[in-house]
A and B are shown apart, each in its own frame.
Chain A
Amino acid sequence: MKTLKVSIVTPDGPAYESEVEMVSTKAQSGELGILPGHIPMVAPLQIGAVRLNKSAGKPDLVAVTGGFVEVRPDQVTILAQAAEAAENIDIERAQEAKTRAEGRLNDNREDIDRIRAELALKRAINRINVYEGQV
């Protein structure tokens, strides 16, 4: 079966690179599945997981914090400000970030940026989900 070259790059360097059969992720307009031979396309992504199906074994999971995907017939590039493959996620840090964000939201103070805190919570939950494979 044909494969796609996938690279997930962040400002801190490449986070994931591999040959896969299918890429599925959540674009802002909805779920998006990419197979080899896709027309060139650009789409912004939601905070979520990227699932990379390989010919054998379990699919790889990578947590991304938004960004966008650039598709070419034989290549997919995901540009995100941060991305972590499931095996690289520091689960304790993610849990801490979640608690902190929840605490900030529950405080209900005036001087905090609610949107920021909500985004932080979303990112933390996303990392935990990817780590546990629940996507």
Chain B
Amino acid sequence: MVSLRDIKSRISSTKKTSQITKAMQMVSASKLNRAENNAKTFVPYMDKIQEVVASIALGSKDVTHPMLVSRPVKKTGYLVITSDRGLAGAYNSSILRLVHQKIQERHSSKDEYAIIAIGRMGRDFFRSRGANIALEITALPDQPSFSDINKLATQAVSLFSDGEYDELYMYYNHFVSAIQQDVTEKKVLPLTDIASSNKLTAYEFEPSAEEILEVLLPQYAESLIYGALLDAKASEHAARMSAMKTATDNASELIDSLTLQYNRARQAAITQEITEIVGGAAALE
């Protein structure tokens, strides 16, 4: 039989834990709010750059650029966006599982792929499996600005241009709503699926379409990576928020059942005492 004191101390420690998870839930909620705003301010930039890229790449058929052309794939780059810390439910594990599975399917040797890791969880996962990590960045702020990721994005794009790998995939959690985040695979390079949203504008190019693509395409690819990072950050905060909410709910359930157990034990103790007194009095008669 568990003693009253044991139950009491379990109740109080569970209460403390639930206070922490509750606080973490509220912190994540406010971070999620700001992350959503960040993603919103990025939209006009992305829309515009997409429009111009589509106009040039699809408008003039005779224009080509290495970044638009698929070449035979000898090596593949995988850019994996995870969080630095855990306590975010299945946020990291679902991404890592997908990437791991894809790699197992596509490649037979470690020389055929390289990992670009954003976030400590992903880096540690691939490092412990001995994968080749080409680039890594950890400890990004919760509200990253473009300058935080600029260097990594530029390097990731130039590794493609230099022929280090021949295609680049990106894996991240796409933010759907506060309770739903979808693991997403996206091909970044070569830029084969440029969506044309509305009617294309016929531009004059100064000095020439090729030279503009030279500037524009890397900038476009970098902004794709930044966009994914913003999306992933929003998902991370949302995932952490719901994980902490579940933890808080579980804690209060646990406290309820422990309190019930405590009361029962207390009552049993009282009943036993009364029985003993009554028994003692009866023996005296």
Seen from chain A, the residues whose Cβ lies within 8 Å of a Cβ on chain B are 7, 9-14, 27-29, 32, 39-44, 66-68, 70, 72, 77, 79, 81-82
Contacts and interface: CB of A to CB of B under 8 A. Distances in A.
B204 A41 contact: yes
Bin chain B's interface residue count. Answer: 20 to 34
B206 A79 contact: no
A39 B45 contact: no
B68 interface: no
A12 B145 contact: yes
B212 A44 contact: yes
Interface of B: 38, 41-42, 44-45, 48-49, 52, 55-56, 145-147, 150, 201-207, 211-212, 214-216, 219, 222-223, 226
A7 B204 CA distance: 20
A28 B48 CA distance: 20
A40 B202 contact: yes
A12 B212 contact: no
Contact of B56 (A11, A14, A29, A42): A42
Contacts of A81: 146, 150, 219, 222
Given A14-B44, A68-B216, A79 B49 contact: yes
Nearest to B201: A40
30 contacts: A9-B44, A11-B45, A11-B145, A11-B226, A12-B146, A13-B41, A13-B44, A14-B44, A28-B207, A29-B207, A32-B206, A39-B204, A40-B203, A41-B205, A42-B55, A42-B56, A42-B204, A42-B206, A42-B212, A43-B206, A43-B207, A43-B212, A44-B214, A66-B215, A68-B212, A70-B52, A70-B203, A79-B45, A79-B48, A79-B49
Contacts of A29: 206-207
> What is the predominant secondary structure among interface residues of chain B facing chain A?
helix
Contacts of A43: 205-207, 212
Contacts of A44: 211-212, 214-216
B48 A9 contact: yes
A82 B203 contact: no
Contact of B201 (A10, A66, A72, A82): A72
Contacts of B226: 11
Nearest to A44: B215
Contacts of B205: 41-43
A23 to B, nearest CB: 14
Contacts of B207: 28-29, 43
Nearest to A29: B207
B204 to A, nearest CB: 4
B241 to A, nearest CB: 24
Contacts of B145: 11-12
The residue among A12, A28, A41, A82 with the most chain B CB atoms within 10 A of its own CB is A12
A82 B45 contact: no
A82 B57 CA distance: 24
